[in-house]
Structure 1
Amino acid sequence: MVPTLLPVAALLLPLPPAPQGGDIPAFATKLPQIETGAPILQFNGKDLSGFYTYLKDTAYEDPEEVFTVVDGQIRISGERWGGITTEQEFENYHLIVEWRWGDETFAPRLDRSRDSGILLHCVGEDGAAGGQWMESIECQIIEGGCGDFILVGGAGKPTMSCKVRQEEDGQLYFDPVHGETVTRDSGRYNWWGRDPEWKDVLGYRGRRDVEAPAGEWNRMEVICDGGTITNIVNGYVVNVGTNSSLRKGKILLQSEGAELFCRKFEVRPLKQD
């Protein structure tokens, strides 16, 4: 198969309009140039071949069918905390996930922002993080915060650097132009456009969000290249981490209180120079 040469995004989805609250910064439109090979993992639209499930309360059993395949899509009910995890480990890859929110939410996040995430470079034991996830670097999926990085500790504490600015709220926002490099082993690096007035309420939308409204499809791409992780949401670079201490591992898609549908989950290896 002919390798794919991307400015990452032969997108199947149209780009959303520029946010009303401000222009897209120039750096967000400069997509990495990468060359990839044929997919080494693809959701087949029929079943969860290539993945396994893990839940906080029932481990490798899923008696309530939190994870199912419906109409060619993975449905994650969100009713129990856990995730679907790749059986393989990956390094130096381009991940493409197309997803949308469903209508259902569950306590304790019944009235809070819809929440999930993609855990990258998962290592160690299942459930080592909070009883349901793995030590990893999270590419966050949450209303208003898609593309944030969260450092998820397990037996160890992963570290990563990010060029950020610190706002009055004390939080760190990705800013490759005016920011300073910060290295952490816990906490969050917000994507560049996350609204400082963000509130943990159902249906939240910030003035600069590039995530599509609830119910509409999004395309999230993650490029893991050595110690660098680039998060791309609907064609815009939203966050870049460097010097990650984790560079290889499994990939996990979370169940975290909100119904989520996934129609594409694809991993392509990067062609190295």
Structure 2
Amino acid sequence: MKTYSRRKTPAVRWAGWTAVWALTAGVLGVQAVDAIRPQQRIELFNGKDLSGWVLFVPGADPAQTWSVRDGVIHCTGKPAGYIRTRDQYRDYKLTVEWRFLKPGNTGVLVHMTGPDRVWPRSIEAQGMHDNQGDFWVIGGTTFKEHGGKQDRRVPKQGPSREKPVGEWNTYEIVCKGDTIRLYVNGHLMNQATECSDTAGHICIQSEGSEIEVRRVTLEPVD
């Protein structure tokens, strides 16, 4: 009896390559090919609306969670989700000025890639009250200081540098190559080196607490 070999169709070959890419991404990290490297100051928040941002709040109307009032971004904190930049970025200094109206939780996700979900692949600069400066790895990301620990958190170095609840804090996140440094009100709080992911979207979390944000700025890094 004559036998025939089963030739892979283009769709099957593509599916195979997709699976290989997904496996490789999970091991080596995901890099955003078209990520923008800022050459000048970029205001990500225009003080009027959320132009340039994608609102992701699964199962709810995002406008009930995120809004702009009197030139300030207001987030109710519920349900869980985030706003993220439409564009992807690499090699930048990100400055976020925000405050809690009462003690609570939020965060900034950098180098976010892949599908929108709670929570997407990224590295989190923790925003929880009294914990700003911690790192969290999400979705398979990692870095040298994390070292493959079971705990996804890498605590800040030293005591909290946050201002009292109700006052504005300045969070500076400097991403250069495979290194991320976190500054709270001018104080270096933490550093991640040899990061698996070095580019992607930037997200601000809705994570259970009411927050306000008045500035989100990108600048070049030397």
Q: Same fold (TM over 0.5)?
A: yes
Once the two structures are superposed, what CA deviation does each residue of 1:116-164 show, in whole Å capped at 9, x if it has no partner?
Answer: 000000000000xxxx2311000000112101000011xxx111112xx
Structure 2 unaligned segments of length 5 or more: list them: 1-37
Asked if 1:192 corresponds to 2:157, the answer is yes
Asked if 1:183 corresponds to 2:173, the answer is no
Which residue number corresponds to residue 72 of structure 2? Answer: 73
Once the two structures are superposed, what CA deviation does each residue of 1:230-252 show, in whole Å capped at 9, x if it has no partner?
Answer: 00000000000000010000000
Which residue number corresponds to residue 83 of structure 2? Answer: 84
Q: After TM superposition, where is structure 1 displaced by more than 6 Å over at least 4 residues in a row?
A: none
Which residue number corresponds to residue 53 of structure 2? Answer: 51
Query: 1:213 deviation in Å?
Result: 1.0
Q: Distance in 1 between matches of 2:132 and 2:62?
A: 27
Give 3-state SS (helix, strand or coil) of 1:83's partner. Answer: strand
Question: Are the equivalent residues in 2 in contact too, given 1:83–1:133 (CA < 8 A)?
Answer: no
Question: Are the equivalent residues in 2 in contact too, given 1:41–1:50 (CA < 8 A)?
Answer: no
Once the two structures are superposed, what CA deviation does each residue of 1:202-247 show, in whole Å capped at 9, x if it has no partner?
Answer: xxxxxx3211111100000000000000000000000000000100
Higher-strand-fraction structure: 1
Amino acid paired to 1:126: D
Q: Distance in 2 between matches of 1:247 and 1:82?
A: 22
Q: Distance in 2 between matches of 1:189 and 1:209?
A: 14
Which residue number corresponds to residue 186 of structure 2? Answer: 235
Percent of aligned pairs sharing the same letter: 36
Q: Distance in 2 between matches of 1:221 and 1:124?
A: 24
Query: 1:269 deviation in Å?
Result: 2.6
The alignment yields a C-alpha RMSD, in angstroms, of 1.6
Amino acid paired to 2:92: Y
Give 3-state SS (helix, strand or coil) of 2:84's partner. Answer: strand
Which residue number corresponds to residue 100 of structure 1? Answer: 99
TM-score (norm 2): 0.79
Which residue number corresponds to residue 264 of structure 1? Answer: 215
Higher-helix-fraction structure: 2
Q: Distance in 1 between matches of 2:110 and 2:126?
A: 10
Q: Please point out which of 223, 228, 251 is paired with 2:202.
A: 251
Once the two structures are superposed, what CA deviation does each residue of 1:158-188 show, in whole Å capped at 9, x if it has no partner?
Answer: 11112xxxxxxxxxxxxxxxxxxx5227611
Q: Distance in 2 between matches of 1:222 and 1:144?
A: 17
Amino acid paired to 2:40: A
Query: 1:41 deviation in Å?
Result: 4.0
Structure 1 unaligned segments of length 5 or more: list them: 1-35, 104-112, 163-181, 194-207
Q: Distance in 1 between matches of 2:129 and 2:74?
A: 18
Amino acid paired to 1:264: R
Which residue number corresponds to residue 117 of structure 1? Answer: 107
Greater Rg over alpha carbons, structure = 2
Q: How many residues matched?
A: 184
Q: Distance in 1 between matches of 2:204 and 2:101?
A: 15
Amino acid paired to 2:175: C
Asked if 1:139 corresponds to 2:139, the answer is no
Give 3-state SS (helix, strand or coil) of 1:184's partner. Answer: coil
Which residue number corresponds to residue 62 of structure 2? Answer: 62
Q: Distance in 1 between matches of 2:59 and 2:213?
A: 23
